Amino acid sequence: MDKQEKVYVAGHRGMVGSAIVRKLRKEGFENLILKTSSELDLREQDSVNNFFEKEKPVYVFMAAAKVGGILANNTYRAEFLYDNLMIQNNIIQASYKNNVRKLMFLGSSCIYPKLAPQPLKETYLLTGELEHTNEPYAIAKITGIKMCDAYRSQYGCNFISAMPTNLYGPNDNYDLNNSHVLPAFIRKFHEAKIKNEPSVTIWGSGSPRREFLHSDDLADACFFLMEKYDEPGFVNVGVGEDIEIKELALLIKRIVGYTGDIVHDYSKPDGTPRKLMDVSKLTAKGWSAKIGLEEGIAKVYEEFKISAIN
């Protein structure tokens, strides 16, 4: 990547996009194009086309998406499908039309079948049924992968795809109505500690296993892939290790310093039993995660406490 060229980071205010911006600036990239959703609605095709024609970005990071946890995914199924399809369709098409040199599309580990063998290899895509609760989001992300490959095959576009595991980090979403499990736990245990509540309730049995990657590690991997990876298909991005949800709850409970009990609400769904990424394809290229889970959560909690006070 040429440091003098224009780089568009779609979704720069989100957890992933802001991490990519931090990484780019650290590497000396200052010619960044950043637009808020109020300035540019990525679901509007004409607006996106006009933006690309005016700005002519050379590199594009697609970190913009409608995201959320189990409750949000299952409640707003239409919006999760429509909004994500429109965002990625418009950006990919506009990137092709305006001769973007390289584009990275970011997806999610939810693209894999619910009962796929573990760890999840890139070759397992479309080999079984998806998890029902986040099927619309997963279908949108699978479409994005296939679009990048189709534009590469038909038009020679250097569009690549990366599928990160579960993420956490600065600028995460802590709204209990639509957040993911790790930030939701941080908020629940913190508020229970402040209010001196006797217990914290978590969904389901706590037996599903999840893998967690710090957003700064993801940004580092994205930059690495934009520099080193030019192939069809997609690359898993993760740490290669997972943890039971109930173990995660105990870890966050300890980091927060909460002394009450953990109660399980067995009426709530567990979701996919396990989602562990096979990251051998990425490690073979020369990249691996650097931030440990306990270290990462402790740092994120310190940042959360500051924002909670403010």
Catalytic center residues = 137
Three-state secondary-structure class, residue 246: helix
Provide the token pair at 173.
């979403």
3 state DSSP class of 214:
strand
**Distance, CA of 170 to CA of 20 (rounded, Å):** 12
d(CA 205, CA 283): 33
Confirm if 41 and 49 have CB atoms less than 8 A apart. Answer: no
Pairing of strands 7-10, 209-210: unpaired
Kindly report the backbone phi and psi dihedral angles of residue 213, in degrees, each rounded to the nearest multiple of 5, phi listed first. Answer: -120, 130
> What is the rounded distance in angstroms from the CA atom of residue 93 to the CA atom of residue 87?
10
> What residues form DSSP beta bridges with 199?
261
DSSP letter (8 states) at residue 134 = G
The token duo for 135 is 């099927």
d(CA 229, CA 105): 13
Residues 196/201/206/208 CA torsion (nearest 10 deg): -110
